[in-house]
Amino acid sequence: MRNEIIIILLLFFAWNCKKDNPSEVPVLKTLPVTSLTSSSVKTGGGITSEGSGAVTARGVCWSLLPNPTILNIDSITSDGKGIGPFSSTITGLKPGKSYIIKAYATNTVGTGYGTPMTAVIAPLMPTVTTSNIDLVSDTEVNSGGEVLSDGGSPVTERGICWSTVKNPTRSSSSVDSYTSAGIGIGKFISTIFLSKQDFNTTFYLRAYAINSAGTAYGFEFSFSPAKFSIVDGDNNFYHSVMIGSQVWTVGNLKTTKFNDGSPIPYVEDSGPWNNTITSGYCWYGNNETTYKDSYGALYNWYTANSGKLCPIGWHVPSDSEWSTLSNFLGGATLSGGKLKEAGSLHWKSPNTGATNETSFSAMPGGNRTNSGLFENAGNYGQWWSTTPGTSNVSYYRYLYFGNSSMVSSFVNQKYGLSVRCLKN
């Protein structure tokens, strides 16, 4: 009888112990990380025990922080249910980051986690673009670039490199040269200096950026100081800028002579200006001292369309060539801001959207109407094309201080407008 009582008591206590024991979450481990790419890894888990209930969900969770959980639903995978091993692929990871990964399994009691694993995603090389080439003089060239992405690793150096052979590199070789223009992402500008002996030499130039993954390069441009230099009939020097496939003068034309040396008639008074149906030019407000250097001259269309206004090797652009420029810069509504000189030194405030990121430095030279009235200096920049319209009008382009657009329109051929020259 005593033995029976003891057995009964043991069963009683065993039953109570089982009742008081906490319910169990699944038991599992995290599988090693394999198949690393720049944005994904393969891993998984192995469930050795369901715990106190069937496994209804399993997968992996990850974070840049030490203790990932399934609470962040944007950083988990769902890989079925039940016990046993399973594999999982994580995508959308960022280069250069270190992630903590844990397998998980959920039953009716809760969620169990495996041991944390670390996945280090290798960085990519930076992404860099090359800026337009701006020939300031026959020995001074401005360029630069923009680091769009650091590839997941800090950019420790950026700049431009150039050479007399294609594909220049950032090296200390006797062939390649380079500048260093700081660190990090964003835009940068560099100036290179050439010798007089380099005037007829063709150079190749591109931007570079360096991080722990290596050195990346932007688009390669070629240039020659001789091909970029421009001097008009009055020996005024203009530097030039390459924008896309085109090379433009920087600064409005201010010559008083055709490229054959013959003078362009200066027309000062309103009456003769209105009656002129041949070539003629003037200064805004008939004030050469104030307006020549900054705004250039105003030419009627007969002058602009003469075929000999720009220096030899250059020409006044057609309307379609203006369209090529506008389209390269993102279209009519965006291109104006990229062409306008920034700030309000010459343009009326607010000079909306002006960045001058092309180094075109468009100036608001205004115009002279066919009746001889001067107007819009500071408000509008207006440039002739060689494309005629119907009757006595021709096409031109204008920029306005109040928006970032470039607009094509037409106006009477007797108007006086600014002129930019385009490389043949």
CB atoms within 10 A of CB 299: 27
pLDDT recorded at residue 416: 98
pLDDT recorded at residue 4: 55
109 and 159 part of one domain: no
Q: How far apart are CA 257 and CA 253, in angstroms?
A: 11
Cis ω before 350 (30° cut-off from 0): yes
215 and 275 part of one domain: no
105 and 49 part of one domain: yes
What is the per-residue pLDDT across 260-304, written as a single tens digit (0 to 9) for each?
999 999 999 999 999 999 999 999 999 999 999 999 999 999 999
278 and 382 part of one domain: yes
139 and 185 part of one domain: yes
pLDDT recorded at residue 196: 85
278 and 338 part of one domain: yes
Instruction: Examine residue 18 and state whether it is found in any structural domain, yes or no.
Output: no
- Among 103, 120, 137, the domain-final residue is 120
235 and 309 part of one domain: yes
252 and 399 part of one domain: yes
pLDDT recorded at residue 14: 46
Q: How many domains does the chain have?
A: 3
What is the per-residue pLDDT across 355-392, written as a single tens digit (0 to 9) for each?
999 989 999 999 999 999 999 999 999 999 999 998 89
Tell me the angle at which helices 332-339 and 319-328 cross, rounded to the nearest 10 degrees. Answer: 90
273 and 410 part of one domain: yes
pLDDT recorded at residue 200: 86
Q: For the domain that residue 88 is a member of, what is the CATH number?
A: 2.60.40.10
pLDDT recorded at residue 228: 76
Q: For the whole model, what pTM was predicted? A: 0.67
pLDDT recorded at residue 9: 43
Instruction: Examine residue 29 and state whether it is found in any structural domain, yes or no.
Output: yes
Which H or E run includes 324?
A: helix 319-328
**Domain that residue 189 falls in:** 127-226
- Among 226, 260, 276, the domain-final residue is 226
The low-confidence residues of the chain, meaning pLDDT below 70, are: 1-22, 174
- Among 173, 197, 226, the domain-final residue is 226
Neighbouring-strand partners of residue 394: 388, 411
Instruction: Examine residue 322 and state whether it is found in any structural domain, yes or no.
Output: yes
Ramachandran sector of residue 26 (left: φ over 0; alpha: ψ -120 to 50; beta: rest): beta
205 and 252 part of one domain: no
pLDDT recorded at residue 176: 84
pLDDT recorded at residue 3: 52
